[in-house]
Amino acid sequence: MLQFLGSAATFAIGAAVVFGAPVPDGTWPTSQGNVSFAEVYVVKSGEVFDGGMKTYDRSDITCLGQTESNGTSNAVFEVEPGATLKNVIIGTNQMEGVHCEMSDCTIENVWWEDVCEDALSIKGGNVSSVSRVIGGGARYADDKVIQHNGYGTVVVDGFFAQDFGKLYRSCGNCKSNPRQRFLNMSNIYADLEIIQAQRVDPNVSIIMMNENFGDQAVLRNIYVKPSTENYTDFVSF
């Protein structure tokens, strides 16, 4: 049985945001082939990388769980501001998944089949930056799926998350970057029934934000398929 969560806090986004992605049905895409990179692939500003629903990973890296790595160099893709990564499955041989080092990226129909340290890291940018995650999904995240260390707003629409610790985490250790962050999340299906991930925290959260920095969020159409474990929809610090 699915549980429905309404809205949490509200805030005004500076850029126009359109919500229209369907709520996922919980199915996983079929890979159309495999591609391995020997280094991070950079999607340049203004470019669209359409992966054709192939599985992409690294030929020189294996996942080391929650071991902190050298960031972008251990990612499969780095997506520059104004660039789009779409129709991609991120495979298991990687540590950092996808990085948006300067925010303002678009991640469309991207799937992480087995999240390592985290799936998507969003950094940099400015107060007017808007990074978008449209469609796609991620599973088996021991900790975070989306890590938002940058400025501005993250929009997540039509995303499927299965077996995770935190679906979205605003910067957890940002003494050098104490800025307000915004989240707009809609049409989400969170499946917590299957437990495979080795979670670093037994408490599962849909989002975690920093109250002391004034972080704000809007949640719309969040559907949760619960397990016997407890979960929280919103946690602030």
d(CA 115, CA 27): 17
Which one, of 210, 209, 201, 208, lies nearest residue 230 by Cα? 201
What's the rounded Cα separation, in Å, for the pair 35 and 124? Answer: 28
Residue 16 vs residue 229, higher pLDDT: 229
Q: Give the per-residue pLDDT at 7.
A: 38
pLDDT digits (tens, 9 = 90+) for 91-139: 999 999 999 999 999 999 999 999 999 999 999 999 999 999 999 999 9
* The two three-digit tokens of residue 2, written as one number: 């699915």
pLDDT (tens digit, 9 = 90+) per residue, 126-179? 999 999 999 999 999 999 999 999 999 999 999 999 999 999 999 866 776 778
DSSP 12: -
Can you list the domains of the chain with their CATH numbers? 3-11+29-64+72-236 (2.160.20.10)
Lookup: tokens for 66:
């929650």
The whole-angstrom separation of Cα 120 and Cα 221 is 22
Going from the C-alpha of 203 to that of each of 2, 100, 143, the distances in angstroms are: 19, 27, 10
Give per-residue pLDDT as tens, 186-202: 999 999 887 765 665 67
CA–CA gap between residue 7 and residue 13 (Å, rounded): 15
Is the model's pLDDT at 52 over the cut of 90? yes
- Band of the pLDDT at 13, cuts 50, 70, 90? very low
Instruction: Give the pair of three-digit tokens for residue 196.
Output: 């495979």
DSSP SS3 for 214: coil
What's the rounded Cα separation, in Å, for the pair 228 and 69?
33
pLDDT confidence of residue 201: 66
First to last CA, the chain: 30
pLDDT digits (tens, 9 = 90+) for 19-29: 588 999 999 99
Predicted TM-score (pTM) of the model is: 0.88
